[in-house]
Each structure stands twice: as C-alpha cells, then as structure tokens.
Structure 1
C-alpha cells in the first residue's frame, strides 16, 4: 500500500484529502505545517507528499526544498490557488512533480497522484535493477559481463572455498592480481592476510630472502632476523606474480614448500611450518616454458591444480562499455568532477582499438580523459594520440569468436556484440539503435530480453 502525506494549514482540506485518498486505497498521513511534515517524513517511509503552497512559518516551496535535500527521489505535488500559479511553476523548477489548482476535481488529483506514484515505483525499480546489475557485473572490483568473465567468476566462487593451489595466466594488465584477491576474499581465509610478491622484480638472492626470510648475519647487511612472505601470509593467501621468472634453484625450494608446507629461513637451520594458500600467476604459458626446459614440470603440476586463463580485453570487447562507465565514475569522483559523459564517436574508437595493455591501459586512458576533458563530455581530443589515431584493425575471426565454439553460440555472441554497439552508439535510445541494426524496435526489445541486456 502506497503511503501519502498531505500538508495543509486548512483543516477542511486535510479532512477532504484524507477521506478521498483513504477511499482510493492509500495509507494517509496529514500535517498542518511544514515543520510537522518534516517530522512525519523522518519517522515514516513515504511514497508521496502533497502540500499546499501557501502556509504560515514554512511555505510549500520551503518544505519542498528541504525534502529534496534529504529525499531527492520523493515526489512532491503542490496545491495552489489561481493567484500563485507562477510560484507553482517555480516549485516545479525546484523539483516538484506537478501542481494542482484549488479547488480541484477528485478525478484530477487522483490521476496526478497515480502518475507521481508510478514515477516513484519506476525510480525504485530502476535503482534495484542497477544494484542487481552492478552485483552481476562487478566481482570484487572486477568488472565484466562477457561469457568468458562470467565463467571465470563461477570457477572463482567454487575454488575459493577449497585449499587448492590456483594458477592464473593472462597477458599483462588483464587483472590477474584482482582475481587472486577475489579468491582470497571469498575464501574461509579472508580474515587472514593477502600477501603479494612479484617474482620478476627481484634478483634470485633477494627473492629467496623475500619469500623465506633470513636470520641475523645470514649475509651482508642482514643485521636482524626478518620473516619472509610465507610466514607473513600465515593463515591467509600468498600471491606469487610472474612465477615463471623464478630461477631453477628457487623453483626447487618452492616445490618443497608446496609439498610439505615447511622451509628454513636463509642462513637458518630451524624448520618452520606454515598454513598458507598459494595462488600463482604468469603472463607466459607455463606449459610452453616446461617444454623449453625453463620451468620444472613437477612444480607446474603442483601450481596448476586449478587453472584460470584471463582473456585479453580485445577478446571480450562487450565488457569495454561497462569498464569505461566504471572508470569514468571512479575518476570523476576521485578528481572532484561532476557527471562525465562519453561522445559516441569515442566509444567507437575504444571498441576498435586492440588494447595491447589490456584493462590497465584502458583504465589509464579513461583517467587521462577525465582529467583533460574541458566540459562534461569526453571527446576524441581527450584521448592519447596512439588510441585516437589507431587504424582500423584487419578483421580477424579468431579475435571475435574463439575456436571450437558451436555455430549457434557464436552467432549469439556476434548478435549481442552488435546490439551492445548499437545501443552505445545511439546513447541507449532503442528506436535509433534499431535503425542502426536494420531491425524493428519490437524485435530489438525481444532480443534485449532474450540476452538480458539492460542500460
């Protein structure tokens, strides 16, 4: 049942409105002043306010202004006499839904109220759908609605609850560490630490000390005992990034830890046992590295209990609009900018660019554009020259549709991509999107429902 607050300093109007609205099936509250109305609004979950314009102490416009500051989506209908129509128009500019002239006809005010409540319900439903959409598209700060990413999220949900070692592969910038963090945050170990180490950033000696720690005097400048990353990750997760860069000697020591969950610090003899879950990542194909003799086969199988292959951005272009929106909102907020929009021509460029740096490169491009755009719209001039001037890439079916996908599934994938592109180019105006696709609006709406595509 919808709840309506009626505000008027004339008791007769309050009685008339209460009788009328209660008879129409609404729950009704009444207030004879703006102050009382604000108090009732704070104490009750209201769907609509109907207020007189002219009241002592606090006018209807003043009440409207205060309500909109706290409850911006709460619709307000103004009641006014003929002599204050200009004030009513002013109120609508300040956010009132509509105004009604006194004396009013019952049918007229009931119709206006029904329209206002319909808007209220649409806003509430839209907010709920957007929240659901964000929950589906964002997975521990990872944005993606493509089938490839949804499959990865599903595996993460399953593997997170286990102790299994996970190997994440993918090009630089695809978000391997974000996936590792998602595994940790959704696991029973989420109260423990998440410790990360880049195996390609340190020499063999430094990496050994970083992983296993060292005793005082173990080497020059070792002036005190220091715990390694394995000890610091006790009860949690250790993320080994770029594990393919490990030397053969360190690979042997890592294999022992994975098998026995024990090690000695550098320069020490005491065996230390740990309870750590290991997640490793590499931008190289470890199986190829094994074949080339650069990586131990036994260590590969220890790490590769569960394998997650993160696709490059060029193979999941239907995620680009979501990522762009996410990054625009993020950097607009960080840089104290208002709402930022995207010129449709810019989206065309972003969709065709091959993104060699993957999501990380896209994030940097959008951050730069948000900072440099002079108005509230990102234009081509705000893009880096290498992106804005990138030539059209030659069509490659393998980039659009991975091999071994059945034809019906491939056709569905292409159709979804074309629909999303048309929606972005048309600013989500369905009539225009249908024209771009060469189909009717009703057919487009059918396909939007079929593929569960929303704004």
Structure 2
C-alpha cells in the first residue's frame, strides 16, 4: 500500500463543500499525500456517495447552500458508524463546535485553514482508523489463537509454494490456495495479507460451508433492516468491514451455487448489493480463497461455476500434506511447543528423542492442524522436560505394556519404567517424588538419567 510522506495509512475521503475552490484545494492537498478523494457540493450527493462507497474520513462544511452541515453528520454516521467527520467552517464559534461534536463529529477546523492543519487532522484520523481496524481483526482472532508459523521449509515443493506466495503478496491478484484439510491454508492466507501492501487493513475470514445460502449472502454482502425475518437492524456485511483489506473465503468449493454469480461480479467489478437493498455499492477488497476438494471435478459436475473458477484461479498455490514434507515436522513441533508452553506457563527444551521419533514416523492424516492439537495436548499434560513419549496420544505412540516384576530385564529397566509411569500419572513432580518415596532432587537426577 502506498504511504504518504508522514507514513500515515492511506484513507478514503469524502469532501462536502459548496465552494469549488475549497473542494479543489482540499482534493489536491489530500491526493498528493496518497489518499483517495471524492468531492461533492451538497448533502444529497454526499449521502449518495456514502451509500455507494466506504469512506474513512469526511470533511463537511457547515453551510452547504440551503442545507445545514450539522444535519448531514448523523445521516453519514447512520450509513458508516466508523466514519470520522471533520467539520470545516468560516463561521467558527464555541457553540457550533460543541454542537458538531454532540452530533458525532470527530474534529473541527476553521476557514481559512492551512495544508499543515489539514495534514495534522488527517494523520490523526489515519492513526485512529488503523488502530480500530487492527482491534477488529484481533477480536476476530481471539477465539482462534494459534502459534505463529515461520514459513520456512526443507522440502522443495513447500519452498516453491512459499516463494510463490511471497512473490504474489504485493500484487492485487486473486489467490487460490489448494491442498488437503489442515495443511495451513488459513495460516498462509494470513501471511500473504501480512506481506502485502494491505497489511495494516483488516483481514477477515468467511467459512463457506457453515451457513445456508441466505445467511451466507447476508454475512458476506450485508443486509438492510427488515429484508428478511430476523433482520432487526442493518448489517454492513464482511465486505464493508474489510474495506481496503483482505477477505479470505475458506472452503470455497462448498460455496452455494446461488451465491457464485454474485461473488463473480464482486471479484470482477468490486460491486455488490446488500440483501433487500437496490443500492449498488463498491468496495476495495482483495480476495484469497481456499479449497480442499477437487474443484476441477466440481466444475465438470456443474457444482461450481466454470467462469468463477477461472476468475479465482489467477494464482494457484498448492500446499502438500504434512506427510509429504515430514522433514519439517521437528521444526514445526518445536515451534508449537514453545508457543503452548508459554501459554501454560511452562518452558520446554523440546521433545525427547523417543517422542520426536514417534512424531516423525506418524502419518498425520490431519496434517498441521492435527500436529498442533497433539503438541498443545503434550504441553498441557507434560511435567517433564524434554516432553516424553508418554505425553503423546496412543494413536501416535502406541501403548506398550509396562515391564512386569519377574520379567527377564535389569533392575535399571524396571526402575525407569516405574518412574516414567508414576510421573505420567502424577499432577506434579512433588507428588511423583512422594509416591516413589524419594526427594525431588533425587527424582530430578533420575529424570535426567533416563531422559524423562
């Protein structure tokens, strides 16, 4: 994304002033700093533009011919509650400033104003909008906390996929991520967004299979109050909320057929209508999609529109299953263990040799998502460092019957097996030491001796 000279976020700005020279001066001043500007002369045109586009900031003159700019403030905010409004007027007074703020204005500058004053308030709004959008993204992520994955790999196919993602990230191209479920498509979509010029704008996820076609259309495009049963208030939709950012459509192969032409139109023209509304709107949103199905076959079976497939398939990136790049398992597992250890107030050096051998040998049908769950479980259950094989699920480390008294084994093997079992089923090292009848220092030495 372009930056202005003060490194503020680029904004979409609406100017409302009945003086031609003011509109031209403000437009030149703001566009020279990288902002996108629409300028109109009256309240009617301002409301029409606000219905069609998403704006971050509006400069509103208090005297608009026969209209009062104060009356326009709540009208604009009803359409775009996030909008920051700067009131401009040649008739400045404390009373008008207070009234403007009461109606929802963000700031107030008197005429004549200087470019420096305009730049100051614009940069302040840019900072606020950036913070609001980041907070919105964090709120969306709060229920999906995940370890941050550093996209490095020792496998040639993964290296090519990551390199392609980094190469296309700065572009505006639609990206289609393909691969089995759990291979990290959502993580890569986030990474592409973070590597792009839209990184300081929202990143939003819509899961295509989770909603009916009616609810999905409302979730994506929004709806107006009363457009269907239960529509008790306006919903701007994910596209509006994601203005300037990236919208990730997960499992797009399951997108309802009735929605597919509407999505195709949005990708091609950036235009859409909310449910129950005839007003055509525009939005600046990049699309990244993902699927785990054979979408080529879905096209042949008429379950997915061919024209939408070709429009989505500008850049295709394939993520192989984890078993196909098993050389990355150790790095991924250690990275995840550090993350989940910190979450559970523990510090781990890693996995024991026996545990890591089991992780490498397993086939991982659930791919990276399954590995994440296994490591999180191990971090919660383990009271040893490094994490031992006893903390892995039986599907990965099949349960071996313990050595029994009288078996033809050494005393050392019996002791090791007994200590491992007691530690695995104890809530703490102190409890394990008490059961074993030794002090913690002795237990610590035994753990070190047996790499428990």
TM-score range, shorter chain: 0.5 to 0.7
CA shift, 1:346, in A, is: 1.5
Counterpart CA distance in 2 for 1:390 and 1:256 is 55
Query: For 1:171-221, what per-residue CA distance to the aligned partner results, in whole angstroms no more than 9, with x for missing partners?
Result: 111111111111111111112111110011111111000000001110011
Contact 1:210 1:228 in 2 (8 A): yes
* Correspondence for 1:178: 187
Counterparts in 2 of 1:13-24, with a 5 A limit?
none
Counterparts in 2 of 1:55-94, with a 5 A limit?
none
State yes or no: 1:311 paired with 2:303.
no
Counterpart CA distance in 2 for 1:279 and 1:331 is 28
Contact 1:139 1:153 in 2 (8 A): no
Residue in structure 1 matching 2:346, options 334, 337, 341: 337
Counterpart CA distance in 2 for 1:248 and 1:229 is 19
Counterpart CA distance in 2 for 1:140 and 1:179 is 9
CA shift, 1:252, in A, is: 1.1
Counterpart CA distance in 1 for 2:148 and 2:175 is 18
Cα distance 1:306–1:343, how it changes in 2: closer, same or farther (>3 A)?
same
State yes or no: 1:325 paired with 2:334.
yes
Residue in structure 1 matching 2:249, options 230, 235, 240: 240
* Correspondence for 1:165: 174
Work out which of the two has the higher radius of gyration on C-alpha atoms and give 1 or 2.
Answer: 1
State yes or no: 1:286 paired with 2:295.
yes
* Correspondence for 1:406: none
Residue in structure 2 matching 1:220, options 222, 229, 243: 229
Contact 1:194 1:236 in 2 (8 A): yes
Cα distance 1:374–1:140, how it changes in 2: closer, same or farther (>3 A)?
closer
CA shift, 1:388, in A, is: 1.1
Query: For 1:333-359, what per-residue CA distance to the aligned partner results, in whole angstroms no more than 9, with x for missing partners?
Result: 111112343221212211111101101
What RMSD over aligned residues (CA atoms) do the two structures have, in Å? 1.8
Contact 1:332 1:340 in 2 (8 A): no
Residue in structure 1 matching 2:273, options 225, 239, 264: 264
* Correspondence for 2:361: 352
Highest RCO, 1 vs 2 (Cα 8 Å, sep ≥ 6): 2
Q: Structure 2: give runs of 5+ residues left out of the alignment.
A: 1-146, 401-452
* Correspondence for 2:378: 369
Which ranges of 4 or more aligned residues in structure 1 deviate by more than 6 Å? Answer: none
Counterpart CA distance in 1 for 2:335 and 2:156 is 19
| TM-score for the superposition, normalised by structure 2 | 0.54
Query: For 1:207-240, what per-residue CA distance to the aligned partner results, in whole angstroms no more than 9, with x for missing partners?
Result: 0000000011100111111111111111111100
State yes or no: 1:386 paired with 2:395.
yes
Count of aligned pairs: 254
Counterpart CA distance in 2 for 1:386 and 1:278 is 38
Counterpart CA distance in 2 for 1:283 and 1:187 is 24
Q: Structure 1: give runs of 5+ residues left out of the alignment.
A: 1-137, 392-455
Query: For 1:230-289, what per-residue CA distance to the aligned partner results, in whole angstroms no more than 9, with x for missing partners?
Result: 111111111000111111110111111111110110000000011111000011121121
* Correspondence for 2:163: 154
Counterpart CA distance in 2 for 1:225 and 1:348 is 55
| TM-score for the superposition, normalised by structure 1 | 0.54
